[in-house]
Structure 1
Amino acid sequence: MRKLAFGMNVSLDGYIAAPGDDLSWSTPSDELFQWWSDRVGATGLALYGRRLWETMSSHWPTADQQPGATPAEVEFAHRWRDMPKVVFSSTISTVDWNTRLVTGDAVTEISRLKADDGGPMDITGATLAAAAMRAGLIDEYAMVTHPVLVGGGTPFFTALDKWVNLSLLETRTFPDGVVLTRYETRR
């Protein structure tokens, strides 16, 4: 059975995006960018909601060809393009860059994918991750907490019907006071 992890940059007050989908507060240091790149390189399958898919696919497929692209950006772009991806959406009709589209029930498909053999899966996007959280499908939470209060926006966690007990797997401090905390779901 595959492991499903949900990891995102998060503000200290718990948001993955500030009002207006503003992500400018979460610009990574070189060290943090490399951590995210290594995570993408180790991901067997990435699950995307439509909005985050549109953000990522508008930049990373050609980021390595942009003037001034750093070696780290080139590496990330290659890893992102090569990584198998699934996009869950009922509003778009095509995807590309080593990606397939699922228009049906996300929880059913994620459950099926977890039961398959293969490498670890990452889930991204607040709405998609919330559905997986409520269904009890997430095995690991990776919060990269930035020392900023944004006051509202898109929350990392959704409202749940019952408690989810977690065990700490790792903590790590990055430049600028950014802290990674990884937790595993206790079953």
Structure 2
Amino acid sequence: MGKVAYGFTASLDGFIAGPGHDMSFLSDTPAAPGGAESAAERQAADEAELAGLAAAVGVIISGRRGYDAAREQAGERDELTAEAYGGAWSGTEIILTHRPEELAADPSVIALDLDVREVISRAREIAGPLDVQIISADIARQALEHDLVDELQVWTVPIFLGDGVRIFDVPGGRRVRWEAAGTIGTDPENCGRLYRPRRR
């Protein structure tokens, strides 16, 4: 059975999306040094890395606000921000919502109104040996309350957004301790970082 991961790309000031779930900051990555050939090589390497990451994921769990924003911004988002893993992923997407009937006409998703524990259990069954990826900050927060997250996968973009959707937002505060568990990728400028929770 695969792991349950909370994976995201964040701004340096801790946001995974801008106001209104704006994802345009994801395209704000450093330019490849060395001209067009280096840029083309880097793009090919990035696409291969994305494909490798996507292949490990069987189910993505999303929230309703992110789903709605993606539909509303479809004409504005580029290839990188329009689809999971820049379009390299194919699998089952579960939308956690209190109004699943409103998404019944969308065959690309499974809409569920369940407790986060039930949703993750269902997602694990569907994913089989592959991973379950949470891409919603609110769902990740709920999953962390029940110690259901096995891994944190973090990439950063060198930008301050100032406002938007925080990585982890708990009014009144709650500490979740993590320990470093390695890196993802080979490019030191764009590699991700892995963390595992220190279980209670």
Q: TM-score, normalised by structure 1?
A: 0.73
Shift of 1:35: 3.0
Instruction: Provide the C-alpha distance between the structure 1 equivalents of 2:139 and 2:47, rounded to a whole number of angstroms.
Output: 23
Q: Encode CA deviations 1:18-56: one digit per residue, 9 max, x unaligned.
A: 234332221166344543343222211111112333455
Shift of 1:141: 0.8
Instruction: Provide the C-alpha distance between the structure 1 equivalents of 2:125 and 2:92, rounded to a whole number of angstroms.
Output: 17
Larger Rg: 2
Q: TM-score, normalised by structure 2?
A: 0.69
Of the three residues 138, 141, 158, the one matched with 2:169 is: 158
> Residues 111 and 166 from structure 1, CA distance in 2 versus in 1: closer, same or farther, beyond 3 angstroms?
farther
Instruction: Provide the C-alpha distance between the structure 2 equivalents of 1:165 and 1:76, rounded to a whole number of angstroms.
Output: 28
Percent of residue pairs identical = 24
Q: Encode CA deviations 1:30-86: one digit per residue, 9 max, x unaligned.
A: 3445433432222111111123334556789xx9xxxxx8xxx9x954x43x31221
Instruction: Provide the C-alpha distance between the structure 2 equivalents of 1:52 and 1:27, rounded to a whole number of angstroms.
Output: 18
Q: How many residues align?
A: 174
Of the three residues 119, 142, 165, the one matched with 1:109 is: 119
Instruction: Provide the C-alpha distance between the structure 1 equivalents of 2:184 and 2:94, rounded to a whole number of angstroms.
Output: 29
Instruction: Provide the C-alpha distance between the structure 1 equivalents of 2:51 and 2:98, rounded to a whole number of angstroms.
Output: 29
Does the 8 Å contact 1:11/1:145 carry over to 2?
Answer: yes
> Residues 123 and 88 from structure 1, CA distance in 2 versus in 1: closer, same or farther, beyond 3 angstroms?
same
Instruction: Provide the C-alpha distance between the structure 2 equivalents of 1:93 and 1:115, rounded to a whole number of angstroms.
Output: 22
Shift of 1:5: 0.7
Aligned with 1:130: secondary structure?
Answer: helix
Read off the aligned partner of 1:84 and give its amino acid letter: T
Residue 60 of structure 2: aligned partner:
46
Superposed, which structure 2 residues align to 1:138-177 within 5 Å?
A: 138-159=149-170, 161-170=174-183, 172=185, 174=187, 177=189
Q: Encode CA deviations 1:142-162: one digit per residue, 9 max, x unaligned.
A: 111011111221111233634
Instruction: Provide the C-alpha distance between the structure 1 equivalents of 2:51 and 2:71, rounded to a whole number of angstroms.
Output: 16
> What stretches of structure 1 of length at least 5 have no aligned partner?
64-68
